[in-house]
Structure 1
Amino acid sequence: MADQSFRGVLERLEAEGDLHTVRRTVDPRFEIGAVLGLRQFDRPQLFADVRGGAMPIVGNLLNTRERIARLLGMDRASLPDGILQALRRPIAPVMVENAPVQEVVHRGPIELADILPVPTWFERESGAYVTAGVIVAKDPETGRRNVSIARIRLDGGGRVMLGIAKNHHLNIIAEKAAARGERLPIAVAIGTHPAVLIGSQMYLGLGDDEYDVVGGLLGEPLELVRCLTVPLEVPAGSEIVLEGSIAANETVAEGPVSEFHGFYVDYGPGTGGVVTCVTHRREAVYQAILPGYFAEHCLLGAVAIEATCCDALRRVVPSVRRVVVTEGGMGRLHAVIAMHRPRLGEGKRAAILAMGQVNLFKQVIVVEDDVDPEDPRQVEWSLAARFRGDEDLLVLPGVKADRCDPVHRDLTVAKIAMIATTRPGDGERGSRSELLDAPAEISARVRAEIDTY
């Protein structure tokens, strides 16, 4: 088995010169977030001296597509297909008996703030939030596992509040447990391999195990270890694990909280929970993801959403080649679909299917696959060269919106699609859209001999 540990990821980044260590003392209350949000600190940052905390904090690990690909053992160009292959060729996890994440054990009355250096991120938020915690739970009816991420606020002692949307699978299975008069056991893994973080964000069906997709990303089974006090399994390579339970019928006030669009929102009360055991490695490192409209938060969602959407679209419209969820669109709301020689009407069909597949999408641009969907300049060129507003603009008013859309009104929003693809005859010799080039044989020779220039 390859090194699946978070510690191994940090060691690799340091060996490659891609991990910057901040030596000065930093305060987890607002200061760490302010530093991570600066452009000059956009590579991974390890805060070695955290005021009041026994653990260093690391952030900004997965804030570029290039680094995500590299840490998954892929190159940038192969990342989209690599994630699609993981979805289509999942690998079930395996159990190990012991793991370093259980070297240190805290039981009994827990004071999380004394164990973990959890940052407070933004001025109006009501407390310190765990933002890179991968939450593991099991459906009390089926025993099937769910792996996801939700914000977790420290509420004193071992008490926590989880911000979980009503339609999220974790809330659905928590409500199942509450209907049976039970609390839902959970485990929260902090400091995990990038494959675990990305796998946890996949839009799978209820009952599908995200750990299987993680195995597909790794190219081998994910190693799990059993928790000490709850009937759950967590990645053996984790740095820290919280064990406890939540209750769907135990609501806790939250107040303003940051969201991916960069604004405060007030979603009402969250779900109450309690942590009764904490385990971690000796000299553990605490991982944090800067929430709000920042690259790591946006990209983690984007690369997972675009992969599951592309997989779904290809099953219906085989000419779809890529789906890119843009960072400008907050990693959630805007998508570009690249298609290979779509027939008339196929671009509109793909756009409508995408907006149905991903409720968050409200702007979709469809281009041909001679355009790089990750390059905003090329996408805009395609709009200028191939889009006719009276024929190629779709406006769908009053569509059901996600609660986190910043401009929804009564949970509805207008969705638009722009189809910037060619028509029959476009590009042919003598047409207005004939692409210019040198003679074919000259272009081919220049490309073949490019290094000699």
Structure 2
Amino acid sequence: MTDQSMRSFLAALENKGELHHVERNVDTRFEIASVLSLRERGPAQLFTRVNDATMSVVGNLYNDRGRFACALDVPRAGLDALCVSALERPIAPKIVEDAPVQQIVHRQPLDIGSLLPVPHWFEREAAPYITAGVIVAKDPETGRRNVSIARLRLEGGNRLMAGIAKNHHLARIAEKAHHRGHDLEIAVAIGNHAAVLLGSQMYVGLGDDEFDIVGGLLGEPVELVKCKTVDLEVPAHAEIVLEGRLRPADLIEEGAVSEFPGFYVYYGPGIGVEIGCVTHRADAIYQAILPGYAAEHCLLGAVAIGATLTRDLQRSIPAVRRVFVADGGMGRLHAIITMHRPRLGEGKRAVILAMGLVNLLKLVTVVEDDIDPEDPRQVEWSLAARFRGHEDLLVLPGVRADRCDPLHEDLVVTKIGMIATTRPGDGEPGGRSEFVMPPRDVFERIRQNLHLY
């Protein structure tokens, strides 16, 4: 049985010298945010003394693709394949009776801010936000689970505010509950295995249970435990769980909030949440994800979007090999599609299909599968050597955009595709794009014995 907790990964980071212990006292008000920002790409940060809290805080856990791969016990190069496999071969969860996350139980009256060391992130935000909370809910019509992440702001006492885009599945499920005249039960799991975080971000259909995908990532059923006060199941090996109700009729003005482009945005009102029970491990560790344009925040979306797009594009265009969602595009807006000898027009078709499937995308580059999409130098070379502007530039003005896009006007934006692939005959002996190299037999002999030179 795999260790399905966050702790096994913390131990692995500790053994590799990639877990930095911050032992001086830090304040949840902007100090944790400052340390995580200044050490955004380095070791994970474990804050052992946070105000007067009894819990430690950990952040910057998954600020590199290699970290996700390590947590899922695959080579870095195998991360995308594992994610696609999990989507295609999900494994249903398993219910257990006893769970570490329910060692301690708190019931009303509750003060979330006193129980949990929730960071206050940025200057213009009104209050602290829970940023790594995996939210579990059930569709009131079908009973099917939905697993996702949304920001949760502390409102004092047992009240939270949930910031949820109206097109997200959780918002649609909450609206269904509202039309039926009742609130929506939710549970929020904090401090999760990487498989739970990644699974919660997969772009799948309403009614698809993301916990099945988590099982596919783990290679075994994820263990869930029934909540104490709501009819939901949560990861048994999480650190903390909040049980409560989302109240669609209770609208709370949010004001300025950080978003992945790195700017403040103003989305209007969020939805009120009332928490009735908190459970946690006896020595719980609070997990925080630095929001805004930060590596971990961007990568969590990038890995999941890339995997789901790879699966979906391959169903229609077999030449597609991989979709890589780039960090520089905020893990949402820029993608590179690799294809194997695409036929004329297939590259443009892949661009249009990708943008149709993920409305966040607005710059998509198509390259051959001899190009490493994670290497900007190779991608730029491909544009220089294979991109013909008069034929291969696709400009789509006035396309529907996501509300998160920093440049949208009335929710539309211009989207661009660039097709940097070969033509028939390119790369053949004597062709315009034949690569220079020594004789292949010499080259392979040296490659196999390079350690002797």
TM-score of the aligned structures, taking structure 2 as reference length: 0.99
1:8 Cα offset (Å): 2.6
**Letter paired with 1:275:** I
Deviation of residue 7 (structure 1)? 2.4
String of CA shifts for 1:169-220, please: whole Å, max 9, x gaps.
Answer: 0000100001011000000000010100000000010000000000000000
Q: Which residue of 1 aligns with 2:33?
A: 33
Alignment of structure 1 residues 182-261 onto 2, 5 Å: 182-261=182-261
Equivalent residue number for residue 392 of structure 1: 392
In the alignment, does 2:342 pair up with 1:354?
A: no
Whole-Å separation in 2 of the counterparts to 1:312 and 1:266: 32
Matched pairs, number = 453
Tell me how far apart the structure 2 counterparts of residues 344 and 353 of structure 1 sit (CA, whole Å): 16
The secondary structure found in structure 2 opposite 1:397 is: strand
**Partner in structure 2 of residue 444 of structure 1:** 444
Match of 2:10 in 1: 10
Q: Is the Cα–Cα contact under 8 Å of residues 396 and 414 in structure 1 kept in the other structure?
A: yes
Q: How far is the alpha carbon of 1:65 from its aligned partner? A: 0.5
**8 Å contact 2:40–2:294 — kept in the other structure?**
no
Equivalent residue for 2:327?
Answer: 327
Quick check: 1:130–1:152 contact (8 Å CA) kept in 2?
Answer: yes
Measure, in 2, the Cα distance between the counterparts of 1:43 and 1:346: 42
The Cα of 1:20 is off from its aligned counterpart by 1.0
Quote the offset at 1:41 in angstroms: 6.2
Q: 1:338-417 to 2 correspondence within 5 Å?
A: 338-417=338-417
| Separation of aligned partners in 1, 2:428 and 2:69 | 38
Q: Equivalent residue of 1:37, what SS?
A: helix
Give 1:223's aligned amino acid.
E
Cα deviation, 1:110-166, whole Å, max 9, x if unaligned, reads: 100110000000000111000000000000110000000000000000000000000
- Matching residue of 1:61: 61
**Percent identity over the alignment?**
66
1-side partners of 2:164 and 2:301: how far apart? 15
Amino acid at match of 1:112: I
Following TM superposition, by how much is the alpha carbon of 1:40 offset from its aligned partner in structure 2, in angstroms? 7.0
Please state whether the residue corresponding to 1:146 is helix, strand or coil. Answer: strand
Local SS of the residue matching 2:156 = coil
Please name the residue that 1:288 is paired with.
288
Take 2:234 and 2:6, find their aligned partners in 1: how far apart are those partners?
A: 13
CA distance in 1, matches of 2:184, 2:196: 22
> Equivalent residues in 2 for 1:260-271 (5 A)?
260-271=260-271
Amino acid in structure 1 at the alignment position of 2:417: A
- Within 5 A, what are the aligned runs for 1:54-203? 54-203=54-203
The alpha-carbon deviation at position 432 of structure 1 amounts to 2.7
Structure 2 gap ranges (5+): none
TM-superposed deviation, 1:451: 1.8
Contact 1:191 1:239 in 2 (8 A): yes
- Computed over aligned residues only, the root mean square deviation of the Cα atoms, in angstroms, reads 0.9
Give the aligned residue type for 2:170. L
- Assess if the C-alpha contact under 8 Å between 2:40 and 2:60 holds in 1: no
Q: Tell me, in whole angstroms, the C-alpha distance in 1 between the residues paired with 2:187 and 2:141.
A: 18
CA contact (8 A) 2:150 2:162 kept: yes
Q: Residues 40 and 81 from structure 1, CA distance in 2 versus in 1: closer, same or farther, beyond 3 angstroms?
A: closer
Give 1:109 deviation, angstroms.
1.2
Tell me the amino acid that sits aligned with residue 348 of structure 1. K
Q: Is the 8 A contact 2:185 2:230 kept in 1?
A: yes
1:15 Cα offset (Å): 2.7
Instruction: Report the Cα offset of residue 248 of structure 1.
Output: 1.6
Per the alignment, in what secondary structure is the counterpart of residue 380 of structure 1? helix
Which residue of structure 1 aligns with residue 44 of structure 2? Answer: 44
* Partner Cα distance (1:446, 1:349) in 2: 41
* 2:115 counterpart letter in structure 1: I
| Structure 1 residue 448, shift from structure 2 partner | 1.4
The whole-number CA distance in structure 2 between the counterparts of 1:441 and 1:148 is 52
- Could you say what secondary structure the match of 1:352 adopts? helix
> Structure 1 residue 442: deviation in Å?
1.0
AA partner of residue 447 (structure 1) = R
3-state secondary structure, aligned to 1:154 = strand
Kept in 1: contact 2:41–2:295 (CA 8 A) = no
Q: String of CA shifts for 1:304-332, please: whole Å, max 9, x gaps.
A: 00000010000000010010000000000
Work out the CA distance in 2 between the residues paired with 1:220 and 1:340: 33
Q: Is the 8 A contact 1:175 1:249 kept in 2?
A: no
| Shift of residue 434, structure 1, vs aligned partner | 1.7
Cα shift readout 1:7-53 (whole Å, capped 9, x = no counterpart): 23222322332211111111111110111011476221100010132
Asked if structure 1 preserves the Cα contact closer than 8 Å seen for 2:40 and 2:295, the reply is: no
Q: 1:288-315: CA deviations, max 9, x gaps? A: 0000001000000000000000100000
Separation in 1, partners of 2:6, 2:397: 45
Residue of structure 1 equivalent to 2:24? 24
Gaps of 5+ in 1: none
Structure 1 residue 447 displacement after superposition? 1.3
